[in-house]
Amino acid sequence: MSPVQESYQTLYRSLNDLREHLHLSGRIDDSNAKLDEVSKVLAICIAVHYEWIESSNFLDLVNTNKFDSKATTILSESFQKCIDQENFQNSDGSSIFGALPALNIQENDNEFALLLARTIYTAFSQALTHAKNDHSFDLVNEAFGHFVRDNFRGNIEDAQYMTPPEVVDFICDWAIFEQDQKGFKFNQSTLTVLDPSCGVGSFLASFYRKLGHHIGRQPKKVKLIGQDKVDRMVRLSKINMMLFGSDIYDIEQGNSLIGSSRLNKLNDKVDLIITNPPFGANISASLLAEEPKNNYPLFHNSVNGAIDSELAFIDREMSLLKEGGALFIVVPDSTISSRGAAETLRARLMGVAKLKGVIELPAVTFAQAGTRTKTSILYLEKSTQRSSDDLVTMATIEDLGFQVSMRKGVAVKKYEGENQLEELSNKLLTPKSNPCVISEEPSCTLEYAKKVEHGSWTASHYSAKRALAISELNNLKGYNVEFFSNLVNFETKKRRRLKEEAGSKCISVLHVIGDGVLDFEELLTYSPKTKGNVCYEGDILISKINPRIPRILVVPKLDFPTTCSNEFEIVTPKEGIDPYWVCYMLLEKVVQDQIQSLTSGTSSSHNRIKTAELEIIKIPAPKTKATVERMSAVTVSYKEHIDNIVSSLYGINKLRRNSA
C-alpha cells in the first residue's frame, strides 16, 4: 500500500469514529449537516496554515492536551475569526457558510470537538505533505463521499460528486500533456479551464496542483472557473482550492444547462473543460429550445421530449470551447455505444469536433456512490478541420487499484490490485505519430480517427489483443484473411418468421458444453418461456451473450425438430465451405481474441456481441494447396470426433429414457 493509500485508510477509520460518535449521541442526523461541520473545521485549518487568523490556541488544541476542557470554545472562536476573512466570502460579500454561520457543536461537547478538530487537522497536514511530493490526496472529496454516499445509492445522477482521485488525477495529467503537445506556453499565455458541474472542485484543484509541478511554480497564467447548482458544492469547491493555496479560482453557484448568463459570456472562449457531469437526469427539449441557439448547436430545436443530462452537457460544452479547445469528460457507456439521442450526438459531433480518445473504466469506478454503471473518459477537440493522419487513443482499464464492499450498510473502499491508469500514464503520455499498440496490459491502442469516428466508439473494440490477433493473421503464410460475412450467411432474421414444428426442442445457450457438444439431458427436459428461432441440421449457432465463454455449435442430426434461443446468431456456410471448419476456426484463439474484444455491455456477466460486430470478425482461410489440404484433414478429424461424442451422449441419454 502506498503512503497516500495508507493516509486514506487512516482517514476512513477516523471518519468512521466521527460517524459513530454522532450516531451514539443522536445529534446531527443529516449527512450533509455532518459534512458542513467537517468543512468548517477544514476552513479553520486552512486559515491557520496561511496565517489568516491567530492560531496558537487552535494548534495547542490539536497537538497537545493543554486545552482539552476548552475544545468547544476554542473551535468556535477560531471559526468566528474565519467568518470575517475575505477568503471565506462570496463575491457579493456574504459568507460561504450561509446567512448565520456557526459551528453546530453543543456547549461543553468537548469530546466531539476534540475528535473533529484532530481528525481534520491530521488529514489536512497529510494532504499538504502529499501535495508537496506531487501526490494527490483528495481530502474534500473523500470526506464528502464518506458522509453522504448513503444518500446516493441508486441515484447515479449524484455520482459526479464522488469521482475517484485515481480518475481525476489521470485526466488532469492527460489534459496537461495534450496542451504541451499543442505547444501551449503555460508561462506566457493565459489558459482558461472550466468545470461546469464542479461538485467539490476535485478536477480544478488537481489541475492547479499538477500544473504547478509541471511548470515548477504556482500557476498564475490560468483562469480556473467552476460552477455547480448546489451551494454546498460551491462552498466545498472553494475550500478545496484554498487547500492547495490557489487564489485564482472563480467558482459560483448556478445551473450550467439552463439560464446561465454567467457561462454565456464564456462561449467560444474556453481552452479546456475537465468534468464529470450528472448522469441520468432528463432535460426537457423544450427548455433547451428556450436557450440561445449557439448554446446548443447540436440539439437546439432538433429533438423531442427529453434528453439525458450528460448529452446536453456535451452539447453545451462544445459551445463554450474555443476552436482547438479540449473537453475531457466522464460519461456513461450509453453515450459511447447507445443508439437514439446518443448516436445522433456522436454523428453531429463529427461536424464540430475531433474524437481524440476513449478510455473505458471498470464498473467499480463509482461503486462508492452506489452505482456500478459502466463509464468512460471521453476526449474531444473542438475543430472543423480534418486530416487523414488524425489519431484516436482507445484504452480499456480493468483495475483502478481498489475494490468496494458493503460494511454495516456503508460502501467501503479497500485498496487491492494495481491502478492501471497510473501504468497507462507512463506509456500514453509520450509523443506518438502513428497507429500502434501503446500497451498490451492495460490495453491501449492508437487508431486512425477515420476508422473510429463513424464506426464504434467502444474502446474495447480496438483492444491490443484484437490488434495483435489481426497482425498475427496478416502474417500467416498460405492463408487469405476473410471477413466472417464473406464465408457465411446470417440467417437469424429469416428464421424468426418461421413457425416451429410440433414436438420441437429448443437449444439454449447453456446446453452447449465443451467444444461444440450438446447437453442432451438438459435439452430434452427444457421448456422455454419464450419462442425460439427455427434451426436445422448443419446450422452453426453462435452465442452472442457472454462471448468470454465460447459457445459455438454445429446443429447435429437429431430425430426431432429444433429451435434455438434468441441469444444465438444462426449462420450457414456459403457454398463449398464445411460448417465444422467454420466452427473449428471460430474457436481458434486468434479469432476468439477478436470476438471477445468486440463485445459491449455493463459488466462482464452481461456482455454480448452484436451481429454487425460478428460480421467483421477476420478468419484465416486456406489459400495454398498445402494449407487447403492440411485444414481439410483437420476438419474431417474434428467432425469425426464431434460426431462420436454427440452420438455417444445422445445414445446414452436415449438408453436411459427407454429403460426408465
Of the listed ranges 100-109, 347-356, 587-596, the one predicted with least confidence: 100-109
Q: Where are the alpha helices (DSSP H) in 26-97?
A: 31-49, 56-63, 71-83
Query: Among residues of the chain, what percentage have pLDDT more than 70?
Result: 94
Question: In the beta sheet, which residues pair with residue 380?
Answer: 327, 355
Per-chain mean pLDDT for the chain: 88
Backbone φ and ψ of 371, nearest 5°: -135, 140
Query: In sequence order, which residues have a C-beta less than 8 Å from that of residue 649 and are 6 or more positions away?
Result: 517, 518, 519, 520
Say whether pLDDT at 160 is over 90. Answer: no
The domains of the chain are located at 3-125, 150-461, 480-659
Q: How far apart are CA 583 and CA 635, in angstroms?
A: 9
- The arithmetic mean of pLDDT across residues 317-336, rounded, is 96
- The arithmetic mean of pLDDT across residues 268-287, rounded, is 90
Of the listed ranges 248-262, 373-387, 486-500, 616-630, the one predicted with least confidence: 248-262
Say whether pLDDT at 602 is over 70. Answer: no
Q: How far apart are CA 445 and CA 536, in angstroms?
A: 41
Q: Pick the closest to residue 274 from 159, 371, 192, 370 (CA basis).
A: 192
Q: Residue 382, SS3?
A: strand
Q: Residue 354, SS3?
A: strand
Q: Residue 541, SS3?
A: strand
Q: CATH code for 150-461?
A: 3.40.50.150
Q: How far apart are CA 164 and CA 459, in angstroms?
A: 21
Question: What is the pLDDT confidence band of residue 308, given thresholds at 50, 70 and 90?
Answer: very high
In b/e form, how buried is each residue of 283-307, taking b as 16+ CB within 10 angstroms?
bebeebeebeeebbebbbeebeebb
- The arithmetic mean of pLDDT across residues 96-113, rounded, is 82
| Side chain identity, residue 31 | S
DSSP tag of 148: H
Say whether pLDDT at 541 is over 80. Answer: yes
pLDDT score for 405: 83
Q: Which three cell numbers stand for residue 38?
A: 467537517
pLDDT score for 350: 93
Q: From edge to edge, which strands make up the β-sheet containing 540-543?
A: 488-490, 568-573, 540-543, 552-554
Cβ-contact 288, 277 below 8 angstroms: no
Q: DSSP letter string over 159-212?
A: GGGG--HHHHHHHHHHHHHHHHHTT--TTTSPEEEEETT-TTSHHHHHHHHHHH
pLDDT score for 151: 44
Say whether pLDDT at 213 is over 50. Answer: yes
Query: In sequence order, which residues have a C-beta less than 8 Å from that of residue 125 and are 6 or more positions away?
Result: none
Say whether pLDDT at 137 is over 80. Answer: no
pLDDT digits (tens, 9 = 90+) for 510-540: 999 988 899 998 999 999 988 899 999 999 9
- The arithmetic mean of pLDDT across residues 76-90, rounded, is 89
Top CATH class of 480-659 equals alpha beta
Query: Among residues of the chain, what percentage have pLDDT more than 90?
Result: 52
Q: Interhelix angle for 139-148 vs 110-132, to 10°?
A: 140
pLDDT digits (tens, 9 = 90+) for 172-201: 999 999 999 998 988 888 999 999 999 889
Question: What is the pLDDT confidence band of residue 153, given thresholds at 50, 70 and 90?
Answer: very low
Q: How far apart are CA 650 and CA 226, in angstroms?
A: 68
- The arithmetic mean of pLDDT across residues 100-107, rounded, is 81
pLDDT score for 251: 92
Cβ-contact 137, 361 below 8 angstroms: no
pLDDT score for 33: 73
Domains 150-461 and 480-659 belong to one CATH topology = no
Say whether pLDDT at 314 is over 90. Answer: yes
- Look-up: residue for cell 423531442? 304
pLDDT score for 359: 98
pLDDT digits (tens, 9 = 90+) for 37-73: 888 889 999 999 989 998 888 999 988 888 788 888 9
- The arithmetic mean of pLDDT across residues 410-420, rounded, is 85
In terms of residues, how long is the chain? 660
Say whether pLDDT at 154 is over 50. Answer: no
Cβ-contact 110, 117 below 8 angstroms: no
Question: What is the pLDDT confidence band of residue 646, given thresholds at 50, 70 and 90?
Answer: confident
